């Protein structure tokens, strides 16, 4: 009797969960499907899920008519560049705070976090003017600098929470064996900390890839990443749903795949360790 009831409730909850998650996922699925339709099919009053002529025309149109590939490279350079530079700056800081804490460490961490909460409009004008004066407007270098700085607090914080869980005894044992500090970092700490460092890198690539305030304001034709490229579809000419879909799919798929791998780290990183 009771197994029967629990079986029935499992069927019910499964159906409900699939229905709701299907609805949440539907806009992405619909974009994916539309990207393979003709423009006429894409606005058809009797839209079809699968029964239409599948075509790759939109993808070749987007690639042919716009420097899509340049924008893609810009996104890669900005997201990866800022994450790697950020790691190089953040790892020593997080190491220092996790293993040689002082009375001020906690305040320092909180202060770093507070910089993340500064609304971008609070520094919009000075950054814009400084970028103009240093000829950094619409350059990849400029965007790498900004992305590194806005994500640095998250990086230090995430790495700190990972490093803090590494037992001190391991480092002390290495020290007893006469390891120097550099040996300690490269041969003992880094191998243990590698998963944490990888997750930090992953989360920051995702955040930088999708960042859409500074990238829209500080970039134009040359350095525009995909966020800004897609924004150019907001003033369309003629039929464009299928092409918008194709461009969108190409912009989101890499990060969607990375994102699914980093679900757990996402919670930890974005809640600053408040929820683990």
How many residues in the shown chain lie near other proteins by CB under 8 A? 100
* Under rule CB under 8 A, residue 38 binds other proteins: no
Q: Which is nearer to other proteins, 93 or 192 (CB)?
A: 93
Q: Is 43 one of the binding residues for other proteins (CB under 8 A)?
A: yes
Only one residue has tokens 């890839």, namely 209
Residues 171-190 that bind other proteins (CB under 8 A): 172, 181
* Alpha-carbon gap, residue 248 to 94, rounded angstroms: 36
Binding mask 84-123 for other proteins (x = CB under 8 A): -----xx-xx-xxx-xx-----x-xxx-xxxxxxxxxxxx
58 near other proteins, rule: CB under 8 A: no
Q: Please tell me what DSSP assigns to residue 37.
A: S
Exposed / middle / buried, residue 143 (Cβ in 10 Å: 0-12, 13-18, 19+)? buried
> Which parts of the chain are beta strand (E)?
none
Using rule CB under 8 A, residue 52 touches other proteins: no
- Name the 3-class secondary structure at 90: helix
Q: Which residue has the tokens 């299928």?
A: 242
Q: Phi, psi (5° rounding) for residue 104?
A: -90, -5
Contact range with other proteins by CB under 8 A, out of 45-53, 55-63, 66-74, 197-205: 45-53
Segment interacting with other proteins (CB under 8 A) among 55-63, 188-196, 197-205, 235-243: 235-243
Compute the 3-state secondary structure of the chain and give helix, strand, coil in percent, each to the nearest 5.
Answer: 75, 0, 25
Q: Which stretch binds other proteins (CB under 8 A): 28-36, 50-58, 64-72, 186-194?
A: 28-36
Quick check: 198 binds other proteins (CB under 8 A)? no
Calpha distance 91→81 (Å, rounded): 15
| CB closer to other proteins, 43 vs 77 | 43
Q: Reduced to 3 states, what is the DSSP secondary structure of residue 163?
A: helix
- Interface residues for other proteins in 130-149 (CB under 8 A)? 130, 149
User: Which residues, numbered 203-232, are part of the site for other proteins (CB under 8 A)?
Assistant: 206, 209-210, 212-213, 216-217, 226-228, 230-231
Nearer to other proteins, 112 or 197 (CB): 112
Structural Rg of the chain based on CA atoms: 24
Instruction: Tell me the window of 8-16, 50-58, 134-142, 197-205 that interacts with other proteins (CB under 8 A).
Output: 8-16
**Do residues 210 and 225 make contact, with C-beta atoms less than 8 angstroms apart?**
no
């Amino acid at each position: 009797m009771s197994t029967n009831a629990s079986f029935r409730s499992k069927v019910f909850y499964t159906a409900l969960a699939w229905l709701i998650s299907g609805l949440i996922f539907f806009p992405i699925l619909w974009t994916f499907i539309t990207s393979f339709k003709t423009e006429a099919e894409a606005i058809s009053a009797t839209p079809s899920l699968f029964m239409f002529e599948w075509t790759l025309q939109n993808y070749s149109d987007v690639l042919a008519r716009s420097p899509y590939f340049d924008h893609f490279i810009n996104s890669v350079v900005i997201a990866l560049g800022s994450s790697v530079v950020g790691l190089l700056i953040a790892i020593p800081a997080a190491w220092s705070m996790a293993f040689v804490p002082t009375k001020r460490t906690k305040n320092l961490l909180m202060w770093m976090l507070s910089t993340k909460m500064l609304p971008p409009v609070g520094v919009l004008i000075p950054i814009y003017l400084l970028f103009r004066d240093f000829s950094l407007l619409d350059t990849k270098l400029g965007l790498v600098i900004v992305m590194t700085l806005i994500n640095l607090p998250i990086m230090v914080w995430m790495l700190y929470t990972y490093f803090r869980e590494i037992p001190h005894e391991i480092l002390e044992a290495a020290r007893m064996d006469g390891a120097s500090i550099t040996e300690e970092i490269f041969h003992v700490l880094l191998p243990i900390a590698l998963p944490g460092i990888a997750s930090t890198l992953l989360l920051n690539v995702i955040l930088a890839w999708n960042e859409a305030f500074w990238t829209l304001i500080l970039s134009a034709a040359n350095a525009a990443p995909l966020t800004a490229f897609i924004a150019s579809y907001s003033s369309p000419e003629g039929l464009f749903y299928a092409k918008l879909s194709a461009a969108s799919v190409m912009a989101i798929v890499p990060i969607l795949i990375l994102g699914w791998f980093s679900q757990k780290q996402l919670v930890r990183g974005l809640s600053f360790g408040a929820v683990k």
